[in-house]
Structure 1
Amino acid sequence: MRIIFIIIALSAGIASALQSGANQTLKKALDAPLWAAALVALVTAATSITVVLASGERLPAAGAAAAAPWWAWAGGFLGVGFVLGTVFAAPKLGAGLFMASIVTAELITGLLLDHFGLLGFDMHPIGWGRIIGAALMIIGLSLIAIF
């Protein structure tokens, strides 16, 4: 069963790389990077609402959203930060270095979230294997940046 979730995660990684290129192309077409980011967010919202309506999922209870911790709402702001990163940094770095930077930062952040059990993640202590894996990612990022 775990393989299904790995395939989903790999698909998300592919989508992330493709999204960077699509966002960059929209920015060039509009010649307005902030408008490009806003339109990406608008399409994301419209797509999300369409998927929810098509799924038939019921509305959450009235107070459910208010009961969520304050940081649970940060996802939207963080998503805008990601889109702005793709619009501004991806064209300057190139797809390979941009994605290597993102994946390395995601991995290190993910290891810290797991180790300390933050933001709702179960605790998964950082062992030597994870430390070595993160170090190899940093080395890989460095090689991509240099060459």
Structure 2
Amino acid sequence: MSRFWTLLTHVHSLAGPVLMLLYPLYASVLAIESPSKVDDEQWLAYWILYSFLTLTEMLLQSVLEWIPIWYTVKLLFTVWLVLPQFRGAAFIYDRFVRQQIKQYTEGKVQQDHKPPECKGKGKKKSVDFIVPKKGEH
């Protein structure tokens, strides 16, 4: 039984890199080469979510190391994101990320359509420096 647990531990530790990196890298290359945009959206959404998950994990590392099943939960979540049967990455992107982007861009469009005398009020000078105005390069 000891050898079984040792084998299971090694399979578990290899499953993460394979499911989180190797398979998505391979599938992303296939998606770029295919004429369909559906798979492109799935894999771009995956990489966005994977980056966000990695950054969150880095920030919360001291808390997450106290949760013994964190790696298993992360692995199962990644399986759901990656497997084409579920298309979890595209689902989360459509439901949550796209909604946030739409709210941000709609607010930006409304700000751009204000009368000239209202523009710039409450706007910081540093934002003008970082984000160039339309027509400037």
TM-score by length of 2: 0.32
Normalised by the size of structure 1, how large is the TM-score?
A: 0.30
Structure whose alpha-carbon radius of gyration is higher: 2
Q: Give the helix-richer structure, 1 or 2.
A: 1
